[in-house]
Amino acid sequence: MTTAAPALRPRPKKASIRTRVWLDIALFVGYVLLSAPQSTGIAFHEYFTVVFIPIFISHIVLDWAWVKRVFRKSDNKRSGEVRFNRAFDIVLFVGMVVVIYSGFLVSESILPDFGIDPGATTFWSNVHDASGNLLILLVGIHIAMHMPWIKRNLGRIRPNRSAI
């Protein structure tokens, strides 16, 4: 009796650099808009968060191969920079989850528009404000840490001016 070899699963196609850069640009612009609810208004701030969440998740999913690679190896096989980056990204992710979760708990627009009273408390309002302010610093550091990648890949997506 012969057994057929198991079918190989096709590898998922890796997102192009162009896709990743444009997604990161959208993530950055979205984050800047969300960081200034005094300028955009609470309704925009809350509804745009719903748009922002899939962009944020996509940013992580498109870099999932990196995430798996960094978490698969033991700490002693990684450079200090990679270990710091991994720890920092965990803190950044937790901070983003906290600010989004607490934001829904203090909703003044989106949940009431659906007839839900979140029963906001001063505690959750303070958590949302503090985590939001901390995230501004963390996102700035995250961007600075990845500036070489940003510069390298922004240059790759610019149209070729000599072809015009």
> Nearest CA to 78 among 63, 66, 61, 90?
66
In a domain, 11, yes or no: no
Which pair of structure tokens corresponds to residue 17?
């650099």
Model-level pTM?
Answer: 0.79
How many structural domains is the chain composed of? 1
**For position 28, what pLDDT does the model report?**
94
In a domain, 9, yes or no: no
In a domain, 164, yes or no: no
Point out the residues of the chain with pLDDT beneath 50.
164
Q: Which residues contact 31 (CB under 8 A, 6 or more apart)?
A: 52, 139
Number of helical (H) and strand (E) elements in the chain, helices listed first: 8, 0
**For position 8, what pLDDT does the model report?**
55
Q: Which residues contact 8 (CB under 8 A, 6 or more apart)?
A: none
In a domain, 153, yes or no: yes
